[in-house]
Amino acid sequence: MGKKAGYHHGNLRAALVEAALAILEADGLPGLTLRRVAAQAGVSHAAPAHHFPNLQALLTALATIAFERFTQSMARARARAKPDPESQVRAAGRGYLAFARSHPALFRLMFSAGDLDWQDQALQAAGAAAFRQLQEISAPFADLLGLAGETDRRELERLIWASAHGYAHLAIDGKMPATGNPPDVARFLSKR
């Protein structure tokens, strides 16, 4: 009889997170339980309680990781783009969509407010870092469009976010092409 691969020594928390990520990506949120994570990691069903007292705590840790990876995806795309405001908006949208397509279950989890502990400081910090990407692309684009009022600038942020987020959700739900980029909001707005 073969030996089951799993956690044997070292960092239990990391092993549990790795197991949870694998389950989440394979089976989605409905397939993720602490008992199943323990089994996947090769530990007793009680072992997760040492780091995650409940499923919400584990989901919050996963969402924190997701926001960090999501931010990195947008930042990498922006780093490869030209520095002008329109190129930066387009690049951030491509990074947004690339993450959603590569990690659809994590993407859905990040925005499932009821499943997460939004009082968790690590999650708040990771979410804020992702939001800063939006602010960093929106402010120069608002300047380009001549938007001086705070209300108009916030509306532009929401428009850019809603466009990328809506397209990403439609794409991972199979309602948009499996390849391609999100709508070019920058092109349409810059023609106003």
Please say whether the beta carbons of 32 and 23 come within 8 A: yes
Question: Could you give the CA distance from residue 68 to residue 125 in angstroms, rounded to a whole number?
Answer: 9
Six-digit token pair at 181?
């980029």
In order of 26, 48, 51, 165, the CA distances from 6 in angstroms are 17, 14, 17, 36
Q: What is the pLDDT of residues 89-113, one digit of tens each?
A: 999 999 999 999 999 999 999 998 7
Using only C-alpha atoms, what is the Rg of the chain?
19
72 confidence band (pLDDT: 50, 70, 90): very high
* CATH of the domain spanning 7-53: 1.10.10
Question: Could you give the CA distance from residue 21 to residue 44 in angstroms, rounded to a whole number?
Answer: 18
177 confidence band (pLDDT: 50, 70, 90): confident
Mean pLDDT of 147-159: 94
Q: What is the pLDDT of residues 114-136, one digit of tens each?
A: 889 999 999 999 999 999 999 99
The structure's pTM equals: 0.89
pLDDT of 4 over the 80 cut: no
Domain 55-190 - what CATH class?
Answer: mainly alpha
Question: Could you give the CA distance from residue 189 to residue 96 in angstroms, rounded to a whole number?
Answer: 19
**Polymer length of the chain:** 192
Where do the domains of the chain lie?
7-53, 55-190
Give the torsion through C-alpha atoms of 93, 76, 28, 17, to 10 deg.
-150
pLDDT of 5 over the 60 cut: no
8 confidence band (pLDDT: 50, 70, 90): low
Q: How many CA atoms lie within 13 A of 2 on its CB side?
A: 3
Question: Could you give the CA distance from residue 35 to residue 26 in angstroms, rounded to a whole number?
Answer: 16
What pLDDT score does 188 carry? 76
Nearest to 38 by CA among 26, 47, 29, 51: 47
